[in-house]
Amino acid sequence: MKNFSENANTIFDQVINEYHKIDRVDQPFTNPYNKNTELLNHLLYRKCWIDTVQWHYEDIIRDPNIHPEEALTLKRKIDASNQDRTDMVEYIDSYFLEKFKDVTPNPDATINTESPAWGVDRLSILALKIYHMNEEATRENASQKHRDACNTKLQILLEQRVDLSTAINQLLDDIANGRKYMKVYKQMKMYNDDELNPVLRKN
């Protein structure tokens, strides 16, 4: 798994570039990776596509002139996207659980603060930050001061990607060699559940 993060970053860049060819939140989605033969790449591509669409949902909903009904519809889409996002994290973690199922943790093995897939979630969002910060750092109709400030931020984001990529690779290596173990905690979201959200329960 030493090159896992390098592969993930390549796929994330592929997704983001593909999205921006049309640059519309309602564009059709096609996954180029076969679910049966390239499952991990299939999951990574889908995960980043969800994040990319949601990134642009979040841009749109902040329009101060957005119509209230349109904003409400968009809020529902963001809620659904958040659920898809957490579901994909669980699918990716389930992939790793299956991959490492025969590894016996060392007696002194420890658990990490986050699972591998939540690290992947952060890496996907980071790819989006890098793409859009680079846009701002190179935007011709922006002031030089703006471009310089964004370029400074871009360099920090690129450094963060190196650090996070290294940390994820190390975590996977630790799990593969029994130095750490992982668990998957299902996301116990309450606000989408008719039985757990008191507002929904009343309806």
- Tens-place pLDDT, residues 112-123: 999 999 999 999
Q: DSSP assignment of 73-115, as one string?
A: HHHHHHHHHHHHHHHHHHHHHHHHHHHTTT----TT-EE-SS-
Q: Note the pLDDT of residue 107.
A: 96
Work out the average pLDDT over 178-197. 72
Portion of the chain with pLDDT greater than 70, in percent: 90
Q: Is 28 left (phi over 0), alpha (psi -120 to 50) or beta?
A: beta
Helices 39-61 and 68-99 cross at an angle (nearest 10°) of: 160
Number of other residues whose CB lies within 10 A of the CB of residue 13: 14
167 pLDDT higher than 80: yes
170 pLDDT higher than 90: yes
Nearest to 138 by CA among 123, 116, 154, 127: 154
Number of structural domains (the chain) is 1
What residue numbers bound the domain in which 90 lies?
A: 4-202
d(CA 89, CA 44): 9
151 pLDDT higher than 70: yes
Q: E strands of the chain, at which residues?
A: 110-111, 180-181
DSSP run (H or E) holding 127: helix 116-137
